[in-house]
């Protein structure tokens, strides 16, 4: 079993280029199905979830190759429209292939996506959006059988779901006529997906606002696209430096995409400066509690940064309240942090953290991707050694968390136990 071992107490210092955004790369890889040509996609980190997407593309008959951080997908050889259960279960965002395959082939068959550690994650909004476009979807024995000559329409999402917005955009590219998606998610990853679709020749506008408009039916072609930097990986490294103390410069990520996180870290006592090229954070490693942190859709505070910021504040002076509004079960890391001496009480959507003077290293277990990263952030500021188990969760979303933190001066390594 592979584990991450961290010895706390080292300050972090130096520069890092942040990886490409997992949550951009995954829908963009699905979107490549629509192209029918060769798409060269840059800034794709080597993650388990990216490999799972590549496996689905290969199963569908696409050619996929990697050179460094660049993936080339040739979907001219696409030969199938169904995804087997074993591939669907590997990750949640496999469901985004539904809109892409339906948009390209007029039919698709797949099963429900992988179960999730964050609580129930239904796909009802995805399915309603595709049905509005004219897809017939039969749910039979856990399989979704979808058919449809899609027609542009007005889709009003009941909540701004990231995945449902992406699925609707992809299917709408293959629909005849104009589709207007209202109450769309406004995440930077939606804007990135729009950029990719436009590079393929699609007529999409409005991403980043609550209304996305797609003029479907355009002939699409291959393209070259560079994915944006990962704002959640950036939030993780900023939280790590805030907690451990030090002086860290991050490149490759748009500072505007992490402004809610940097605002919190400034309030906690860090000095953060940003320009077009980089984000710099300086911390003495002594933080204070902050105003309540409420997660919400972009541009609000990201649910994906809740765990790592909580970990950064474990030794802060004072109290901080967290309200998790996005997922039902996103405090599973709390139980592990308690093993290290943290003082956090959570009930339902709320967690209250009281800073403690010291944390002690312990054997802890990742409960999910971001919760796992939070344990590493906690370990950087704990006395003694923290051993983090079940690190497969971390590998789903971070290309080299251990190596990146080691390059910044942390005493951290990944070993076989």
Catalytic hit among 62, 105, 116, 354: 116
Regarding 283 and contact with ligand EPU (CB under 6 A), the answer is no
Min CB(210)–ligand EPU separation in Å: 14
Cα distance between residue 369 and residue 26, in whole Å: 16
Regarding 336 and contact with ligand EPU (CB under 6 A), the answer is no
* Residue number closest to ligand EPU, CB atom: 163
Min CB(12)–ligand EPU separation in Å: 22
Regarding 393 and contact with ligand EPU (CB under 6 A), the answer is no
Min CB(248)–ligand EPU separation in Å: 22
From residue 350, alpha-carbon distances to 44, 56, 132, 328, 371 in Å are 35, 37, 36, 10, 16
Cβ atoms of residues 280 and 266 within 8 Å: no
Query: Which of 19, 23, 179, 367 lies at the binding interface for ligand EPU (CB under 6 A)?
Result: 23
Selected range binding ligand EPU among 2-10, 154-162, 281-289, 344-352, rule: CB under 6 A: 154-162
Question: Under 8 Å CB-to-CB from 191, ≥6 apart: which residues?
Answer: 207, 208
Regarding 163 and contact with ligand EPU (CB under 6 A), the answer is yes
Regarding 138 and contact with ligand EPU (CB under 6 A), the answer is no
Residue 164 or 375: the one with the smaller Cβ distance to ligand EPU is 164
Regarding 192 and contact with ligand EPU (CB under 6 A), the answer is no
Selected range binding ligand EPU among 116-124, 132-140, 262-270, 408-416, rule: CB under 6 A: 116-124
Cα distance between residue 247 and residue 141, in whole Å: 54
Question: Under 8 Å CB-to-CB from 187, ≥6 apart: which residues?
Answer: 23, 162, 297, 298
Query: Which of 71, 123, 175, 261 lies at the binding interface for ligand EPU (CB under 6 A)?
Result: 123
From residue 410, alpha-carbon distances to 10, 12, 64 in Å are 6, 6, 35
Min CB(120)–ligand EPU separation in Å: 6
Question: Under 8 Å CB-to-CB from 359, ≥6 apart: which residues?
Answer: 8, 314, 315, 340, 341, 342, 378, 381, 382, 383
Fill in the DSSP letter of residue 313: T
Cβ atoms of residues 63 and 94 within 8 Å: no
Regarding 146 and contact with ligand EPU (CB under 6 A), the answer is no
Residue 10 or 22: the one with the smaller Cβ distance to ligand EPU is 22
Cα distance between residue 203 and residue 213, in whole Å: 8
How many binding residues for ligand EPU (CB under 6 A)?
24
Regarding 303 and contact with ligand EPU (CB under 6 A), the answer is yes
Cα distance between residue 148 and residue 69, in whole Å: 36
Regarding 373 and contact with ligand EPU (CB under 6 A), the answer is no
Cβ atoms of residues 300 and 367 within 8 Å: no
Q: Long-range contact list for 127-131, CB < 8 A, 24+ apart? A: 129/155, 129/157, 129/164, 129/167, 129/168, 129/171, 129/181, 130/98, 130/99, 130/102, 130/167, 130/168, 130/171
Residue 280 has φ and ψ, to the nearest 5°, of: -115, 130
Picking from 80, 116, 38, the residue whose alpha carbon sits closest to that of residue 396 is 116
Regarding 52 and contact with ligand EPU (CB under 6 A), the answer is no
Tokens of 112: 């429900």
Residue 204 has φ and ψ, to the nearest 5°, of: -130, 135
Query: Which of 225, 315, 333, 370 lies at the binding interface for ligand EPU (CB under 6 A)?
Result: 370
Regarding 397 and contact with ligand EPU (CB under 6 A), the answer is yes
Selected range binding ligand EPU among 22-30, 173-181, 306-314, 352-360, rule: CB under 6 A: 22-30
Regarding 93 and contact with ligand EPU (CB under 6 A), the answer is yes
Regarding 167 and contact with ligand EPU (CB under 6 A), the answer is no
Cα distance between residue 203 and residue 190, in whole Å: 14
Regarding 114 and contact with ligand EPU (CB under 6 A), the answer is no
Q: Based on the residue annotation, tell me whether 105 is a catalytic residue of this protein.
A: no
Regarding 348 and contact with ligand EPU (CB under 6 A), the answer is no
Tokens of 134: 């004219």
Selected range binding ligand EPU among 19-27, 270-278, 351-359, 386-394, rule: CB under 6 A: 19-27
Min CB(308)–ligand EPU separation in Å: 11
Regarding 45 and contact with ligand EPU (CB under 6 A), the answer is no
Q: Given the rule CB under 6 A, which residues bind ligand EPU? A: 22-23, 26, 92-93, 121-126, 159, 161-164, 185, 303-304, 326-327, 369-370, 397
Residues annotated as catalytic (active site), given as ranges: 116
């Amino acid at each position: 079993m592979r584990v991450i071992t961290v010895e706390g107490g080292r300050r972090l210092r130096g520069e890092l280029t942040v990886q490409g955004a997992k949550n951009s790369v995954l829908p963009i890889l699905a979107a490549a199905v629509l192209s029918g040509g060769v798409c060269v996609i840059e800034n794709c980190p080597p993650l388990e979830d990216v490999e799972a997407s590549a496996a689905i593309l290969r199963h569908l008959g696409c050619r996929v190759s990697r050179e460094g951080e660049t993936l080339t997908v040739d979907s001219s050889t696409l030969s199938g429209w169904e995804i087997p259960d074993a591939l669907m279960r590997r990750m949640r965002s496999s469901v985004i292939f539904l809109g892409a395959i339906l948009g390209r082939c007029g039919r698709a068959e797949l099963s429900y996506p992988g179960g999730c550690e964050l609580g129930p994650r239904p796909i009802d909004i995805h399915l309603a959006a595709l049905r509005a476009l004219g897809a017939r979807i039969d749910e039979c024995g856990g399989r979704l059988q979808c058919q449809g000559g899609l027609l542009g329409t007005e889709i009003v999402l009941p909540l701004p779901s990231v995945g449902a917005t992406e699925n609707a955009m992809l299917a709408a590219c293959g629909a005849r006529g104009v589709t207007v998606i209202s109450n769309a998610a406004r995440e930077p990853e939606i804007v990135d997906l729009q950029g990719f679709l436009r590079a393929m020749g699609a007529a999409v506008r409005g991403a980043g606002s609550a209304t996305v408009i797609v003029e479907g039916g355009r002939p699409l072609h291959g393209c070259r696209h560079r994915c944006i930097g990962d704002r959640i990986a950036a939030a993780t490294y900023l939280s790590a430096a805030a907690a451990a103390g030090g002086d860290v410069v991050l490149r490759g990520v748009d500072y505007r995409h992490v402004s809610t996180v940097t605002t919190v870290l400034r309030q906690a006592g860090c000095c953060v400066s940003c320009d077009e090229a980089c984000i710099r954070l300086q911390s003495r490693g002594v933080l204070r509690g902050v105003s309540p942190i409420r997660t919400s859709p972009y541009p609000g505070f990201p649910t994906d940064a809740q765990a790592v910021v909580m970990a950064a504040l474990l030794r802060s002076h004072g109290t901080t309240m967290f309200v998790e509004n996005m997922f039902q079960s996103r405090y599973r890391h709390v139980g592990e942090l308690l093993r290290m001496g943290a003082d956090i009480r959570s009930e339902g959507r709320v967690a209250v953290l009281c800073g403690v003077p010291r944390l002690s290293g312990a054997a802890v277990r990742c409960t999910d991707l971001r919760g796992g990263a939070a344990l590493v952030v906690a370990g950087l500021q704990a006395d003694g050694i923290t051993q983090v188990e079940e690190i497969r969760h971390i590998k789903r979303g971070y290309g080299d968390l251990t190596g990146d933190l080691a390059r910044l001066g942390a005493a951290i390594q990944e070993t076989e136990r």
